[in-house]
Structure 1
Amino acid sequence: MNRRRFIKASMALAAVSGTTSIATLFSRAAYASESEIADGRTTEFDFSVLQSMAHDLSKQPWVGKPRPLPDTLANLTPQAYNAIQYDAEHSLWNNIENRQLDVQFFHVGMGFRRRVRMFSVDAASHQAREIHFRPELFNYNDAGVDTKQLEGQIDLGFAGFKAFKAPELARRDVVSFLGASYFRAVDNTYQYGLSARGLAVNTYTDQLEEFPDFTSFWFETAKAGDTKFVVYALLDSASVTGAYKFTINCEAQRVVMDVDNHLYAREDIKQLGIAPMTSMFACGTNERRMCDTIHPQIHDSDRLAMWRGNGEWVTRPLNNPQKLQYNAYTDNNPKGFGLLQLDHEFANYQDIMGWYNKRPSLWVEPLNKWGKGTVGLMEIPTTGETLDNIVCFWQPEKSVKAGDELEFKYRLYWSGLPPIQSPLARVYATRTGMGSFPEGWAPGEHFPDKWSRRFAIDFIGGDLKAAAPKGIEPVITLSNGEARQIEILYVEPFDGYRILFDWYPTDDSTDPVDMRMFLRCQGDAISETWLYHYFPPAPDKRKYVDDRIMK
């Protein structure tokens, strides 16, 4: 953000708490003392001040894209940028003895060009002081940065921040906020995976997607022994502003975040995404098209899970489609949803670089009434594992108009398993392959005359064993085609049941087929609901080909 233009645009804002305004919040005093790095002028701050700032900012024109960085930073390669390290001796709470938490900052540069402001807050007195950029806060190592170009640039800001917890203080971070409104956290594996965002705007519409920025952060000073800290964030974009309060609990096994956001619409918004998250799915047990590698599976998340407002539990395996797909699942006051990574067996990935078996799940628990809306899921084709191709968020049913004010409260759980699971039988895995032949008799010299696709859905837990003597009934619903050769098999290795069926086309359509299944016993549902989005091949591809070369 251009500091001069920002202050100029803010001069018309009403003063907050006497003479405190956005402009004075960004003023600079003397450099910090040796015991702390905050060097700005003292100003009053609390969440109500931030809400007033976000509200008033929404009435002002958006200042636009960030202004250019010095050449020495703008032209950094990824390797050079990663060589820049924050000096742990200048960490935010380095002066606190017996601290359990600490915070460091990311340098601006490369693609991270938004100049983000950082403030230290004394919660007892509600006083804030800005932390200005200065080169001595960083170790530039072999990055090749010309630090002479950075001298005196106190408004350079930072790109984001990362948090650490004992006993890994300054060594392995557990929370990271970096780029636009993106942030991540880890569980006890210390392995980052999928990302969350502060807000999503027009992700799947006829307009360009908008990526709001967190432009400022305020950190309440953590006390010795604290494993929980509070950080506030100001969000800004062309269509909306927001005041966010994150209460981040760095537990022993996971990270839990309470999020309270107040949103102020600058413009009409076609699609507003609340609690958005982005992940990567290249291939898995159900989708093998892009798994021509040494790795059996490649994904940060394997499914979308939903606990609907009516109490129904739903599992939707993820896909890597050949063309972009968007699905919207209607709900009313959802109890929770998330992108989950439930397979934690190394043997199923064989990856010693990405460590996909260690990556956490992310579960969203609404803390206030969200009303009617949809859980949106967008799946983008990808040929590799370097880019996120899965997006998920909550979209309110009511359209957002300029001047609207909204409030959403929710809790984010970053953990290997979600904090709560269905008491019913759960989907363990989904597998697909060629059909039209008896299980155990793969095609030999004679291929089937009729083409079909086989689906195997494995269920575990719940009351499956008690229900089995009474009779387990798969209830299958298809938007097109028909299910045949339905089988129910007990599988001892995972102590569960496999439901097999072959999908046969009834026409030449290549439109996606929506599949739905749950298990029933004597009229009662005994499992969560399995959803799937299947893409039939073209009619001329619906055949088996014997490609053996025999001499």
Structure 2
Amino acid sequence: MASSPFNLILCALIAATSACCVASASDFSLADVEKIAERMAKEPHTPPTKVGGPFLDLNYDTYRLIAQRHENALWRDLGLETWVEFFPAGFLFEYPVKVHVVEGDQVTEVEYGDRWFQFRGEAERLADAPGGGFAGLRLMSQLPGNEHKTEYLAFLGASYFRGIGSGQWYGSSARGLAVDIGLGKPEEFPRFLEFWIERPDTSKSDCPQRMWALLESPGVVGAYEFCIRPGEETKVGVTARIWQRHGIQKLALAPLTSMFMWNPATKPANDPRPSVHDADGLLIHRDDDEWVWRDLKRPVKPQVEAWQVQQLHGFGLMQRDRDPDNYQDNEAHYHLRPSVWVETGARDAWGPGTVELLELPAEHEGVDNIGAYYVIDQTKVDLSQSIEINYELSFGTSLPWGHQVAPVIDSQIRQANGTVSVEFQIPENLSGDDIVLSPVAKCSHGRITSIDYTPSGKSTVEVSIRYQADEAREARIEVWLEKQQKKVSEVFSHRWSPAVENLRLVNQ
């Protein structure tokens, strides 16, 4: 995994192919994109064509001199709820995409040109230069509490896209698909080659804005439909059908990317900011209503951790700490970065698999060093046939639907003396003198020698364990609360490594 293209770091690793197009259609739908994808899947991968040379020669500063013409945003003159603007191809965004507009029974390709962009200063010479194109697009609407239309969802680079709800700042991103991620070889980056965006219709409250996309890489081809609902939280329903061209070692569904540098306990001495991160933990909802919480880390070397799942309900990279004093960064606004949650829903048929967390070293906060995704058990799926997946993404600040257990709010790991302390916030439904909560802990290797449970505040409790490690092996330690032998808290999950120094991990 590389950094997010929104930070202009990723794109040197992006691969692309040429795209097909639909000239016109009646009642355009996902089925039309599926026909294209199925046909492409039977053909060998075609190497991509880059944008013209003058655009590739741009550097960061000259690329920024190409700006959107806001007055010419698509549909602005019609007074519709959604406006669309485009990103120019060039610099690190080497491969152009095609964009089509769906209006009634008409499907029209959007023509690239200076209607959409201002070419300023040194970039003025590119206004009429051949070989230009679109790198992606962004959707704008008037979110609740906003006076004007603002960007709330953007597709840019490979299959990356990211969204925000009201009052939020861009942070973690989603991807259409990941191939062979977190392995000891280069990752394959599928790309959205082509987009179709439907004229918005607010009468369709379940899906006021709909888009489709064609995804391709050497190993896969996919057809995607996005049902988009901006608001306090921006929700994106995703339906996709995926074909494989050849064997793939790891097919990762609904991949998310984020950035974690440090929190108050692990911050460097030369930076005044207590915390720097877009997300502070991975949350998993699996099997019989179990919620697993894992604090994020910035490791000294790449590492992947996996959690077995028989039935996936959801997972996400969460930003729980909303206190601006814990960031002290008036420019980055990390306290306003959204959590990104993947909800599979009752219609999901992903089957058994694993939620994986990829953590990478990072020298600075401009690099996305965190990845989370679902890897299907390929022994349970016939990958010689296409597979369909359905899920909903939420970009927002609230807890996922159905989360009623006690969350982890603080954890302290002391490797030197073998102690792990976890603090839980007790919700009202679990408060009261007549309610007895029991602490539980287990480990995959080594042994737990003691466990203590003490109130730590008005509605918080702390569970502390002593752990005797098997020094030759890493171990997973889990801590949770039970009421009458039923889990009533998140399961705190920690990866114990003999090589890791003392850590204190805080999640407000």
Question: TM > 0.5 between the two?
Answer: yes
Distance 1:463 1:273, change over 3 A: same
For residues 428 and 512 of structure 1, do their structure 2 counterparts lie closer, same or farther at Cα, with a shift above 3 Å needed? same
Give 1:55's aligned residue.
Answer: 38
Match of 2:397 among 374, 394, 416: 416
Which of 317, 342, 356 is equivalent to 1:364?
Answer: 342
Q: Which has the higher contact order (CA 8 A, sep 6+)?
A: 2
2:477 maps to 1:515: yes
**1:86 to 2:58 alignment:** no
Query: Is contact 2:51-2:96 (8 Å) kept?
Result: no
Q: CA deviation at 1:248?
A: 0.5
Which residue identity is paired with 2:71? Answer: E
- Listed as ranges, the matches of 1:50-199 within 5 Å are 50-64=33-47, 66-97=48-79, 99-122=80-103, 124-125=104-105, 127-142=106-121, 144-147=123-126, 150-151=129-130, 153=131, 156-166=132-142, 172-199=150-177
Residue identity matched to 1:352: N
1:295, 1:134 → 2: CA distance? 43
- Mean CA deviation greater in 268-277 or 294-303: 294-303
CA contact (8 A) 1:72 1:146 kept: no
Q: In the TM superposition, what is the alpha-carbon distance from 1:526 to its structure 2 partner? A: 2.7
Unaligned runs of 5+ in 1: 8-21, 26-40, 435-450, 543-551
After TM superposition, list the pairs within 5 Å mapping 1:420-435 onto structure 2: 420-433=401-414
Give the match for residue 243 of structure 1.
223
Give the equivalent residue in structure 1 for 2:303: 325
Q: Where does residue 231 of structure 1 map in the other structure?
A: 211
Q: Is the 8 A contact 2:51 2:95 kept in 1?
A: no
Indicate if the aligned counterparts of 2:321 and 2:335 stay in contact, CA closer than 8 A: yes
Residue 438 of structure 2 aligns to which amino acid in structure 1?
E
State whether residues 168 and 338 of structure 2, in contact with CA within 8 Å, keep that contact through their aligned partners in structure 1. Answer: no
Deviates more, 1:352-361 or 1:456-465: 456-465
Name which of structure 1's ranges 291-300 and 241-250 shifts more when overlaid on structure 2. 291-300
Partners in 1 of 2:127 and 2:277 — Cα distance? Answer: 43
- The answer to whether the Cα contact below 8 Å between 2:210 and 2:227 also exists between their aligned partners in 1 is yes
Aligned to 2:358: 378
1:498 aligns with one of 462, 467, 470: 462
Q: Report matched runs for 1:340-355 at 5 Å.
A: 340-355=318-333
Secondary structure of the 2:423 match is strand
Residues 347/169 of structure 1: CA separation in 2 closer, same or farther (3 Å cut): closer
CA distance in 1, matches of 2:476, 2:354: 17
Q: Select the residue among 242, 256, 260 that pairs with 2:235.
A: 256
Amino acid at match of 1:55: E
Indicate which of 266, 272, 281 corresponds to 2:251.
272
TM-score (norm 1): 0.80
CA distance in 2, matches of 1:523, 1:225: 48
Aligned mate of 1:46, from 29, 38, 41: 29
Q: Is the 8 A contact 1:488 1:499 kept in 2?
A: yes
1:290 offset after TM fit, Å?
5.0
2:211, 2:430 → 1: CA distance?
Answer: 48
Aligned to 2:491: 529
Preserved CA contact (<8 Å) 2:142 2:150: no
- The answer to whether the Cα contact below 8 Å between 2:267 and 2:275 also exists between their aligned partners in 1 is no
Task: Give the counterpart letter for 1:70 in structure 2.
Answer: G
Pairing 1:15-26 to 2, within 5 Å after superposition: 22=20, 25=22
Secondary structure of the 2:197 match is strand
Choose 1 or 2 for highest CA Rg: 1
C-alpha displacement at 1:241, in angstroms?
0.5
1:203 aligns with one of 165, 181, 200? 181
Q: Specify the SS of the correspondent of 1:418.
A: coil
Q: Does 1:477 align with 2:442?
A: yes
Contact 1:283 1:291 in 2 (8 A): no
What is the one-letter code of the residue matched to 2:386?
E
User: 1:465 offset after TM fit, Å?
Assistant: 5.7
Q: Distance in 1 between matches of 2:147 and 2:181?
A: 37
Change (3 A) 1:328 1:106: same
SS at match of 1:144: helix
Task: Name the counterpart of 1:547.
Answer: none
Contact 2:99–2:109 (8 Å) recurs in 1? yes
CA RMSD after TM alignment: 2.7
Aligned-pair CA distance for 1:79: 2.7
Distance (whole Å) between structure 2 residues aligned to residue 503 and residue 107 of structure 1: 55
2:14 is aligned to none
The 8 Å contact of residues 432 and 454 in structure 1, kept in 2 or not, is answered as: yes
Question: Is the alpha carbon distance of 1:416 and 1:142 closer, same or farther for their aligned partners in structure 2, counting shifts above 3 Å?
Answer: farther
Does the 8 Å CA contact 1:267/1:401 hold for their aligned counterparts?
A: no
State the SS of the aligned residue for 2:320. Answer: coil
Distance, in Å, in 2 between the alignment partners of 1:474 and 1:135 is 64
Q: Could you tell me how far 1:342 is from its partner in structure 2?
A: 1.0
CA distance in 1, matches of 2:460, 2:429: 7
Residue range with higher mean Cα deviation, 392-401 or 238-247:
392-401
Q: Quick one: structure 1 residues 144 and 335, their matched pair in 2 at CA, closer, same or farther if it must change by over 3 Å?
A: same
CA-CA distance at 1:130 after TM superposition: 0.4
Is contact 1:101-1:169 (8 Å) kept?
A: no
Q: 1:404 to 1:485 in 2, by over 3 A?
A: same
- Cα deviation for residue 463 of structure 1 reads 5.8
* Gap regions ≥5 residues in structure 2: 1-16, 503-508
| Aligned counterparts of 2:181 and 2:225: Cα–Cα separation in 1 | 24
> 1:179 touches 1:213 (CA, 8 Å); kept in 2?
yes
Task: Count the aligned residue pairs.
Answer: 478
Matching residue of 2:3: none
Q: Deviations over 1:98-148 (max 9, x none)?
A: x221110000011111110010102x32x2010111123201223535226
Cα distance change, pair 162–132 in 1 and its aligned pair in 2 (3 A): same
Distance 1:369 1:534, change over 3 A: same
Tell me by how many angstroms 1:224 deviates. Answer: 6.7
1:244 Cα deviation from its structure 2 partner: 0.4
Are the counterparts in 1 of residues 338 and 396 from structure 2 also a CA contact under 8 Å? yes
Partner of 1:455: 420
1:530 to 1:421, Cα distance in 2 relative to 1, 3 A: farther
CA–CA distance in 2 between the matches of 1:462 and 1:315?
A: 17
Q: CA distance change for structure 1 residues 221 and 468 in 2, over 3 Å: closer, same or farther?
A: same
Identity percentage over the alignment? 28
- Please, what TM-score do these two structures have when normalized by structure 2? 0.87
